[in-house]
Structure 1
Amino acid sequence: MRAILKEGRVNRNIYVLLGLIMNICLGSVYSWSVFRKPLEETLDLNATQSGLPYMFFLVFYALFMPIAGRYIDKYGPRIVAIAGGTLVGIGWLVAGFSDNLLMMTIGYGIIAGSGVGIAYGVPIAVSTRWFEDKKGLAVGLTVLGFGMSPLVTAPIARRLITYFGPFVTLRVLGIIFFIVIVSLALFLKFPNQNMRRKNKEIIKETNSFTRNFTPSEMLRTSTFWYLWLCFVIGTFSGLMAIGISSPVAQEIVKLTPEMAALSVSIFAIFNGLGRPLFGFLTDKISPRYAALIDFAIIFFSSLGMLFVKEGSKVLFIIAFSMLWLSLGGWLSIAPTATAKLFGLLHYSKNYGFLFTGYGVGAVLGNLISGSVRDIFGSYVFNFYITSMLSIIGMIIAFYGLKQLRKS
């Protein structure tokens, strides 16, 4: 494989494929809802407590994105991805050997979450550099694996949990993820100047109206904060839905645990498809209008969930598929908008700062969804919140996400 990747003979599409496979491992967090019921029974947890490892995972994932962004250019994609993959494996193993909520949260939430935060931005940065002429589509295809991960990992985890329990499952998956991520990281690299010059005219054309903002300059623009708020709202709705998918299927629609896990796999398809779809839309119709479409999807999906009851399988699957798709959409809109609005020169650092919005959305979505379930006895009341937030998001996107021109 090294011979295939030698400079001058390289097919740049290989980097999208490598990133996609890495993201299948990194995106296994979206299968967490499969673990919730078994852990609630094994460790005697309530709905809020069983969501804490997931919440901490997403928080540390978001916190380490800007930190890692500072080192991708300095040390190169391989070293950063290997460091992240190593932490991912260690974190899953620590969780697998834990016997209480605290150790589970430290292992899965803090250590593995930090590892994903370090590794996640690497394949995105690599794809962005190799496809400066098609940033949105390339990023969308690269992170397709993150969204599609539950299609692979949820049924595997469900089967392993059935036979061996949740803790052995965590250990087995941790070892697999470590081997795959570290192995693929060895082949990641940025294009050299000769390769980049081949796209010089296209790059010049696609960036002719974009100024390269430094992080400090970007943070002083109102456009960044409007984009950040939109990202918070989009991730709040999507991550909340992902975290409660299996419990909602079992408690409200009355699906079996196996059918609930299967539904998570179906949702993962839409999460994955949302990434290239909205990457393409962000390229073609601008971040503003891509965001408006995404928020409209959240609104109508939330509205549909208000009518879901026992036996409403079709409506539940449609609504949750669209909510998962909306999150996939935002995880393409956000990085592509960062490159389009603030330039490519400081992209890794700039997107790292924007990604803190993901952490805020994760914390709020998890705490509120669990609290609503514990207080009102049902997850369905969460969808009144997401429907209202989607309207606010549409207003912010329409008035705030404007293309910044070179001065």
Structure 2
Amino acid sequence: MNSNVNRWQVLIASTAVLLCTGAVYAFSVFAGPLSVQKGWSMAEIMLAFTINAAIGPVPMIFGGFLTDRGLAKWAIIIGGLLFGLGFFLTGFVTSTAMLYVTYGLIGGFGQGLAYSGCLSNTIKLFPDKKGLASGIITAGMGGAAIVAAPIGNYFIENKDVFYAFRLLGIAYVVVIVIASFFIKTAPANYLPNGWTPPQTHGGTKMINKNWKQMLQTPYFYLIFFMLCTGAFSGLMIASNASVIGQQMFGLSAGTAAFYVSLYSLSNCAGRVLWGTVSDKFGRNKTLNIILSVIIIALIVLTVLSSQVGFAFGIIALGLCFGGVMGVFPPVVMENYGPVNQGVNYGIVFVGYSTAAFFAPKVAVNMAAANNGSFTNAFYVAIIVACIGLLLNIIYSQLKKAEANKVVEA
């Protein structure tokens, strides 16, 4: 089905929304000042980030349900406004319980709902460029901290952390309202002009499957744990980048905030870069490279104690975290079709939330037990990445075996 929907306009507007909701990746800039101003421990504060990320599957699946039924715009608007509200209300918290509700639950639900609607709706408009579209749209999430980190740090230093939350929350609401006017729902069975969809993928016929059918395939469980292992190191760094820079590499708060922005920029670029690469060379080959680079970057962080080592680790891990988040949406669509992409990817996204639950806690607890050193946490992340690499190899071999059976038949 062809339509006069301006898909690039939808892509840009949706990316603008995620440039707001992706501010969660700048949390490490806010965590330290929160601890100093309120006397809360880093473990208590980091639980808010964990809740924000771990709640993701609920709004992701709900948003996918709405998107698959032509209500993507509502999912995006409601989710975006909830996120802005959660950020704004965090500027008034007086206890960790309130922080968990505003930043964790309200912000997390809003973020997941908007992310699901933006991603699933946009990728349906780009069946011919799934990797590129997924990379650009998720780059909004990855790139948000480029803006949020320095602005947040500026207002923290000149006012306080709660003022920063309130101001950013208002700004996000304004941007999301404006962007919503340019977002259109993807028509059913949309086809770009002049493009004919392939009848097969990897030698197997493309079949649309719902979430129940998806759960009956062995690929689901491999994809699920591959996403979990791929996102683990990225989430560990995203939630602790500023703290790692200050405690292990002796950086000032301002310099550490710069590196948070650099990580976010790398995260943003990685989603477009690896999404485009995966369109050309395949998802499996791309994931093999990404996971290998993650392992190398973590080794560098454990061996080099200089700012150069920190910079290399931040850039490499940011690029790779972005790659993981950009590659998996098309992996799910290619296995289970576009019709139920919203709900299907929402369920697979539980793998991301599982990593989000464990990665920050592992990092903070190990650092607390080792005088602020995250070295042991890096070792754990290396092992997790190696497991992901092994799973991807198994997945690739199963796909090749399936394709060979089709050819022989």
- TM-score norm. by structure 2 comes to 0.92
User: Shift of residue 306 of structure 1?
Assistant: 0.7
Amino acid of the structure 2 residue aligned with 1:163: N
In the other structure, the counterpart of 1:47 is 42
Larger CA deviation: 267-276 vs 68-77: 68-77
Deviations 1:214-272 (A, max 9, x none): 11111111111111101111111110011110001111111110000011111111101
Distance 1:165 1:135, change over 3 A: same
Larger CA deviation: 274-283 vs 290-299: 274-283
Distance in 1 (CA, whole Å) between partners of 2:304 and 2:44 is 25
362, 367, 370: which is aligned to 1:368? 362
Amino acid of the structure 2 residue aligned with 1:62: P
Deviations 1:277-309 (A, max 9, x none): 221222222222221111101100110011232
In the other structure, the counterpart of 1:209 is 205
The 5-angstrom pairing of residues 105-254 of structure 1 reads: 105-192=100-187, 196=191, 198-199=193-194, 201-202=196-197, 204=199, 209-254=205-250
In the other structure, the counterpart of 1:265 is 261
User: Shift of residue 198 of structure 1?
Assistant: 3.1
323, 326, 332: which is aligned to 1:332? 326
In the other structure, the counterpart of 2:345 is 351
Contact 1:282 1:336 in 2 (8 A): no
Distance 1:231 1:197, change over 3 A: closer
Q: What is the SS of the residue equivalent to 1:306? A: helix
Amino acid of the structure 2 residue aligned with 1:316: F
Distance 1:43 1:341, change over 3 A: same
- TM-score norm. by structure 1 comes to 0.93
Q: What is the SS of the residue equivalent to 2:191? A: helix
Distance in 2 (CA, whole Å) between partners of 1:300 and 1:195 is 41
Deviations 1:3-44 (A, max 9, x none): xxxx63x54221221122111101100000001110111121
Count residues in correspondence. 398
Distance in 1 (CA, whole Å) between partners of 2:26 and 2:192 is 41
Q: What is the SS of the residue equivalent to 1:99? A: coil
Contact 1:43 1:101 in 2 (8 A): no
- Is 1:20 aligned to residue 22 of structure 2? no
Contact 1:289 1:398 in 2 (8 A): no
Larger CA deviation: 364-373 vs 13-22: 13-22
Distance in 2 (CA, whole Å) between partners of 1:51 and 1:254 is 21
Larger CA deviation: 56-65 vs 250-259: 56-65
- List runs of 5+ in structure 1 lacking aligned partners: 1-6
- List runs of 5+ in structure 2 lacking aligned partners: none
Amino acid of the structure 1 residue aligned with 2:163: V
Q: What is the SS of the residue equivalent to 2:56? A: helix
The 5-angstrom pairing of residues 82-93 of structure 1 reads: 82-93=77-88
Distance 1:203 1:184, change over 3 A: farther
286, 290, 301: which is aligned to 1:294? 290
In the other structure, the counterpart of 2:379 is 384
Distance in 1 (CA, whole Å) between partners of 2:163 and 2:310 is 31
Distance 1:115 1:199, change over 3 A: farther
Runs of 4+ that moved beyond 6 A: 205-208, 404-407
Q: What is the SS of the residue equivalent to 2:282? A: helix
Distance in 1 (CA, whole Å) between partners of 2:339 and 2:198 is 12
Contact 2:18 2:114 in 1 (8 A): no
Distance in 2 (CA, whole Å) between partners of 1:34 and 1:268 is 12
Percent of aligned pairs with the same residue? 27
Distance in 2 (CA, whole Å) between partners of 1:240 and 1:152 is 20
Q: What is the SS of the residue equivalent to 2:69? A: helix
Distance 1:193 1:117, change over 3 A: closer
Distance in 1 (CA, whole Å) between partners of 2:8 and 2:192 is 17
Amino acid of the structure 2 residue aligned with 1:348: G
User: Shift of residue 75 of structure 1?
Assistant: 4.9
Q: What is the SS of the residue equivalent to 1:51? A: helix
Q: What is the SS of the residue equivalent to 2:205? A: coil
Amino acid of the structure 2 residue aligned with 1:12: R
Distance 1:90 1:328, change over 3 A: same
Deviations 1:80-132 (A, max 9, x none): 11110121122112211111111111100110110001110122122212111
